[in-house]
Structure 1
Amino acid sequence: MILVLAGTEEGRRVAALLQQEGFSVQVSAVTAYGTKLLAQQGLSNISAGPLDEAALQQVLKQGITLLVDATHPFACQASQNAMAAAAAVGVPYLRLERPATALPEHSLVHEASDLATAIEKSLSLGKVIFSTLGSKNLAPLVAAARSHGAQVVARVLPDSNVLRSCQELGLTPAQLVALQGPCSRELNAALYRQYQAQVVLTKNSGSTGGVEEKIDAALQVGIPIVVWQRPKLHYPLILQQPKEVVQYCLKYLPKG
């Protein structure tokens, strides 16, 4: 059986493709919303909730022949847990990671190697920061912005738990854009203008995350954008397309 950690659109797609090819597939999703999306893809063997390294080891011992890590490019801890658990149990590990976006050479486009650098750079460029980093990275941004007399406008998922966590950080309704992306260039530009953004802060989550549209919109509006680049992890095997994973499994794994 193949275990897919399906924290992304690519993860859901590869799980469905593997099932269509006749492989036995178990899919893991962290959230109830992720579970619902997987069910809509026609997948039935779904487990919900986060898995630490120890819990993942126990799952892998239940007849898993391959671990496909399709978690988010910035979910470093999840990938590190997956690699460690697979190595400990002796199950082959395969990383499915969408390609990063090549950033244009432009004076308004700034790269940052980590979150702290991204926040510092953003604060040096403007006092109204439009963040599309997601709710999990908001706490250090909001704290730094307050200490610098800056304001954060955060685009986050329209999820009650996410909105509650944002309110607990002290963000007001006027500072929250509850909207699921990716968004078009036109919508991004309209949001930047509506909230009078002076700088955009995002991460290089690839084309699926709408990075190109965010950058294009910032250039259109004429404001700087800071792009947090992906952390570098050393994966034992990495593929970039769901079809490549299916081809790998067809070549090396028995069905069933």
Structure 2
Amino acid sequence: MLSYLSERNIAGNKIKYIRFERKTLDYGTQNVFQFKNLQEIIVFLSKFENKNVLSTLGSNALMELQKIEERNNLFVRILPTISSIQNAEELGYLPKNIIAMQGPFSKEMNVAILKSYKID
């Protein structure tokens, strides 16, 4: 985890704080795609059918992600809170497609999830 001292000007007052950021994991470039927004992801994935897809975007993106679920088998990794799981179920996600876990996640854990759920 990286941390650094930062400063912000809020309502005319300088506020000092320590910012913590997770170290970015390098997964290489093979079969790695970058997108500017969720709509680009949905367009990209709509080109495929019957693929296992994993979303780690959280419960706030579940409604938009339903467009992916219509053509593919979508798994969602969300926080293990009652509200997140209830939201997923109310939107029609099956329990078998809900992975309720809290990070941070190591590269090894992410790879294990991809293999376990046969993510394409």
TM-score range, shorter chain: 0.7 to 0.9
Q: Give the corresponding residue for 1:152.
A: 74
Q: Whole-Å Cα distance in 2 between the matches of residues 123 and 184 of structure 1?
A: 29
**1:192 maps onto 2:104 in alignment:** no
Question: In structure 2, what is the equivalent of residue 27 of structure 1?
Answer: none
Letter in 2 for 1:130: L
> What is the aligned partner in structure 2 of residue 136 from structure 1?
60
- Which amino acid is the alignment partner of residue 64 of structure 2? P
- Cα deviations by residue, 1:171-217 (Å, 9 ceiling, x for unpaired): 1110011100111122111111111111xxxxxxxxxxxxxxxxxxx
Greater RCO structure (CA 8 Å; 6+ sep): 1
- TM-score when scaled to structure 1? 0.37
Change (3 A) 1:116 1:106: same
**Is contact 2:42-2:67 (8 Å) kept?**
no
Q: Find out whether 1:180 has 2:102 as its counterpart.
A: yes
Matched length: 112
Q: Provide structure 2 residue ranges, at least 5 long, that are not aligned to the other structure.
A: none
Q: For 1:102 and 1:183, locate their aligned partners in 2 and report how far apart those are by CA, in whole Å.
A: 10
Specify the alignment match of 2:40 in structure 1: 117
Q: Give the C-alpha shift of residue 141 in structure 1.
A: 1.1
Counterparts of 1:124 and 1:93, CA distance in 2? 50
Contact 2:45–2:68, Cα closer than 8 Å, also in 1? no
Greater fraction strand: 2
Cα-to-partner distance string for 1:8-34 (whole Å, 9 max, x where unaligned): xx7xx97xxxxxxxxxxxxxxxxxxxx
Equivalent pairs: percent with the same residue? Answer: 25
- Counterpart secondary structure, 2:99: strand
For 1:124 and 1:101, the matched residues in 2 are separated by 29
Cα distance in 2 for residues equivalent to 1:103 and 1:187: 14
Matches within 5 A, 1:29-68: 66-67=9-10
Stretches of structure 1 that go unaligned for 5 or more consecutive residues are: 1-9, 15-65, 68-90, 199-256
Matches within 5 A, 1:21-32: none
TM-score (normalizing by structure 2): 0.74
Aligned-partner Cα distance in 2 for 1:104–1:185: 8
Q: Which has the larger radius of gyration?
A: 1
Instruction: Spell out the pairing of 1:79-98 with structure 2 (5 A cutoff).
Output: 91-92=11-12
Letter in 2 for 1:107: Q
Identify the match of residue 106 of structure 1 among 3, 20, 29.
Answer: 29
Is 2:56–2:78's contact at 8 Å kept on the other side of the alignment? yes
Post-superposition offset of 1:100: 9.2
Q: Distance in 2 between matches of 1:162 and 1:185?
A: 24
User: Separation in 2 of the partners of 1:97 and 1:172?
Assistant: 34
SS in 1 for 2:105: coil
